Amino acid sequence: MTQLSQTVILITGASGGFGLELTRQLLEAGSRLILTNTNETVLRERVAEIQQEVKTGEVLACLSVDLATREGCETLYRQVKALNIPVDILINNAGIGLFGRMDEVPSEKWERIIQVNLLAPMRLSALFAADMIARQQGHIVNISSLAGWTAFGGMAHYAASKFGLRGFSEGLFNEVKDYNVKVTAVYPFFSRTPILKSERYGTIAKKFQGFPEDLVTNPADVMRETIQGIVRNQLHVFPDKTAQRVHLLKRYFPQLLDWIIARSGRRLKSGQSK
């Protein structure tokens, strides 16, 4: 079991929908947090709002960094090392999305998706895992997506980043488990976070009417299940019912899942809720 009270946890993308819930719930658990986001002012404002309500736990630092580059990841590592406080848990939560047909998305946009969603977790894991291996203690958590198991139309680039993160997490698990370093990968379905308002491009985007409200999940519930998966040292966490069902269909009834995805695609184009 991974302990949370007094545990030092680094969270990337801390001012987003999942990031804020992680911050709130981990403070309630008594954790000591190092928080990062591209906009430090926004991060501090949102953390201050949480701390008005949650009096437990501790925020050790709020750091501003762009994780879309190798230099940004290295800068974050140096900033954290300068605190002289070993990180017990690294949560690679920062992520961005977009929607559009593969050939109609500007290359600089989808390349940034790969940089933030896949390369940043890989880079940060490599940096912090070395310290964890030396201490024979640590936990790395990668927030992937159900899109890391099945790819919807209009999400080829996003799915590629999340499929890659799933594969990286599995390989990392097998490489560090002998050093008492845990790895957890999380696969939530689409939740009520800013990523639902990601940029859209081209033909598919013109037909897309948005995610029906009854399909999206509550980020507080999703992160509550995620934290329980971390505590239990689970490698794979499916933190909502849709993620659990789709994962099982993908493994055992892939043709049925293809039919469901096709039907869901028609719903997304029409904007129907049922």
Active site members: 158
Terminal CA-CA length for the chain: 40
| Dihedral sign for Cα atoms in the order 111, 95, 58, 84 | negative
H or E element: which one contains 73? helix 70-82
- Dihedral over alpha carbons 225, 228, 233, 235 (to 10 degrees): 0
- β-partners of residue 199 are 98
Do 202 and 100 touch, CB atoms closer than 8 A?
yes
Written as one letter, the residue type at 238 is F
Residues 6+ apart with CB under 8 A from 249: 256, 257, 260
Using DSSP, state whether 64 is helix, strand or coil.
Answer: strand
- β-partners of residue 191 are 217
Beta strands at 89-92 and 8-11: parallel, antiparallel or unpaired: parallel
Rounded Cα gap, residues 175 and 268, in angstroms: 40
H or E element: which one contains 60? strand 58-64
